[in-house]
Structure 1
Amino acid sequence: MASIDIHKARVRDALPPRRDPYFGAPLAPGLYLGFRRLDEGGTWIARQREDRRQHFQSLGPVHLKSYEDAATEARTWGKRVLAGTESQEVRTVIDACKAYVADRRREKGEAAAHDAHMRLSRSVYTHALGRLRLDKLRAADLRQWRSDLVMADASKNRMMGSLVAALNFAVQERYVDPGKAMEWQAIKRFHVTSRRDVYLTRDQRRALIGALPAELQPLMTCLALLPLRPSAAAHLTVGHLDARTGLLKIGKDKAHAGRVIPLSADALVLLSAQAKNKTLAEHLFAHADGTAFVRQEWGAAIREARGPLGLPAKTCAYSFRHSGITDLLTAGVDSLTVARIAGTSLVQIERHYGHLLQRHGAQALATLSLG
């Protein structure tokens, strides 16, 4: 396969996204530096041939590391592989999960790695499934594991999502034959129809934000001003904000699609203040040391604050999103626009908020009265 001039930024920018990396000319015998093109940016991938085996290593996002630095790191890593000091043995499900968490740390940061680690350690590491060899894993094993989880169906779906992501990573990195993916692709998620019905008034939202730790207040204020998923807001970087045009780019989140949304004056002021004196790669909302917030932090803070405020027991960060979507729909904003801003589908809007749309429709029809 012909090499590609991936050391040139214009060449990388013109490449179409795909799972397999584009490799450049060899850096040393059997050693190559590759570029995996993503929908947004890309990552450096090193490949070292050792006898008949191929070793792969992710070296981080392209926008944080130059070609020269990645090549230097690849050469150092390749020497360790040939010397036998770089273990790439990923055989069991737990091995695959830990490799995936390490990749999340390199590619997405500590917050994403911590979130994946917490889910997998809670559900996989202590279960017999974790000790199974990847090449022996069967759909029946996965169904039994899921059945053994003592939690609601929605939580089981989230645990399954994290495990499948780890298993797909194992396929991507050639730790297991791609044909094994059929074992987990055949398992359908539970259909969860419960509606998030904790609505907070504007006064309640303001009171809740004020009762939270000061460092969390900007993040929760963002959720009150924009109907984002909490995790999507937590992962926003300065590079996502275009203060000149008043637009915010949302990367891939649960909806698996990026989008650009217009900002209100209040939201623009908030995000611009958070972006001040930060680089494009830094998080808009973060601890003083620059690390992003994780779900467990804001979850614990809200649980502690909601009782004294007399808020519903199920109040959580998602309540801000639900309340915002509710306000937009009852204000008369059409459901398609709300779906686009919120990053969801019309089907989901109608499923969770159909009762509001019916009520609003009845009110609109009342204006047609001839009386």
Structure 2
Amino acid sequence: MADPYRVNGGGQHTRALGKFDNYSASERFNKALAAAREWLTHFEKGGATQSVTVMEACDAYVNNIRALKGDKATNDLEDRYRRQVKPAPINKIKVTKLTSDTLSRFRRLVDTPVKVGTLGETRARFKDTVNRDMAAVRAALNQTLQDGLATSDLAWRIPLAAFKNVTRRRGISLDRAQRKMFIDKAPADLAQLIRALCLLPLRPGDFDILKVGKDKSGSDRKFKVPAEIAHFFRNAAADRPADAPLVARAGGQASDKDAWKHPLKLFAKQLLAR
């Protein structure tokens, strides 16, 4: 069944509503009429004529962020959508068909305990991690509002809201002697990263994009640092091109998240076992 809608300029838009085969013959007319009215309401509120699924909305948001902020900001989004949205039932649901019940079920699915270790044990997901997953999905759905692909955020406003006051503090720290021991015993490239983290108040992920000749925003920037820090980074940058990673792995690649996370955990376990 199709429903036409004539706009002010005289043009006519037509949208297929489907066959409604999952309903009995006596129900189909009323279901089709309700679907047509729903689409007309969406259109009259300024909604676009086309519709997108939740996964399509996430993909479009990824493309938008990649164009605005580059690959680093985008990769985390892609990972969250791949882990949480793609395998979930909401994957193929049209954004205009979302309900608070549907998204509440999705949230419960995301909040399901995760397996830890190799013995099949589970633990509850950290709520601040769930918040980051929900924020990514909210952002994609809110983009559909701006693009006219949806006309209300009522379906996700409450179900995808963030948990409050759940940010975890990193309560574990190493003293100066412990940090020195880590640096002295770590592989050369890992030791360089740990040393850089000790010298500058940056997160490990920040070193993914720092270049020999450029800062995080891609610009050249000059500022004064203590002699010890200047000496360390002068040696790190020696005889290397301006577009090379400032803190690199043994093969010259940037120290991205996955490159340093697992070796650091393994090294720490080995060190504690000695």
Kindly report which structure 2 residues correspond to 1:185-264, keeping only aligned pairs within 5 A, or say none.
185-186=157-158, 187-192=161-166, 194-210=168-184, 212-237=186-211, 238-240=213-215, 244-246=222-224, 263-264=225-226
Aligned CA RMSD, in angstroms, stands at: 3.7
What code does the residue aligned with 1:100 have? Y
- When the two structures are superposed, what TM-score results if normalisation uses the length of structure 1? 0.46
> Structure 2 vs 1, CA of residues 218 and 95 (structure 1 numbering), >3 Å: closer, same or farther?
farther
Residue 121 of structure 1, CA deviation? 1.3
How far apart, CA to CA, are the structure 2 residues paired with 1:183 and 1:156?
18
Query: Can you give the 5+ residue segments of structure 1 that lack an aligned partner in the other structure?
Result: 1-50, 54-88, 247-262, 312-371
Task: State how far apart, in whole Å, the 2-side matches of 1:288 and 1:107 are.
Answer: 31
Distance in 2 between residues matched to 1:305 and 1:52, nearest whole Å: 66
Q: Which amino acid aligns with 2:108?
A: S
Moved more, 211-220 or 192-201: 211-220
CA distance in 1, matches of 2:255, 2:74: 12
**Aligned pair count?**
207
Q: Which of structures 1 and 2 has the larger relative contact order (alpha carbons within 8 angstroms, sep 6+)?
A: 2
Structure 2 residue aligned with 1:310: 272
Answering whether residue 129 of structure 2 is matched by residue 155 of structure 1, we say: yes
Please list the CA deviations of residues 146-171 of structure 1 after superposition, one character each: whole Å capped at 9, or x if unmatched. 22222221221121222233334444
CA distance in 1, matches of 2:93, 2:75: 23
Q: State how far apart, in whole Å, the 1-side matches of 2:250 and 2:12 are.
A: 48
Q: Residue 307 of structure 1 aligns to a residue in which SS?
A: helix
Mapping 1:37-56, distance limit 5 Å: none
CA contact (8 A) 1:234 1:292 kept: yes
Residue among 38, 48, 53 paired with 1:92: 53
8 Å contact kept, 1:96–1:167: yes
Give 1:77's aligned residue: none
- Residues 27-80 of structure 1, C-alpha deviation per residue, up to 9 Å, x if partnerless? xxxxxxxxxxxxxxxxxxxxxxxx999xxxxxxxxxxxxxxxxxxxxxxxxxxx
Q: CA deviation at 1:127?
A: 0.8
TM-score when normalising by structure 2:
0.59
Q: Which has the larger radius of gyration?
A: 2
Separation in structure 2 between the aligned mates of residue 300 and residue 161 of structure 1, nearest angstrom: 26
Greater strand percent: which structure? Answer: 1
1:153 to 1:141, Cα distance in 2 relative to 1, 3 A = same
Measured after TM superposition, the shift of residue 93 of structure 1 is 1.3
Structure 2 residue 107 is matched with structure 1 residue 129: no
Query: Do 1:110 and 1:292's aligned partners in 2 also have CA atoms closer than 8 Å?
Result: no
Structure 2 portions without partners, runs of 5+: 1-10, 14-49, 113-124
Matched residue type, 2:176: R
TM-aligned CA deviation for residue 297 of structure 1: 2.7
State the one-letter code of the partner of 1:239.
K
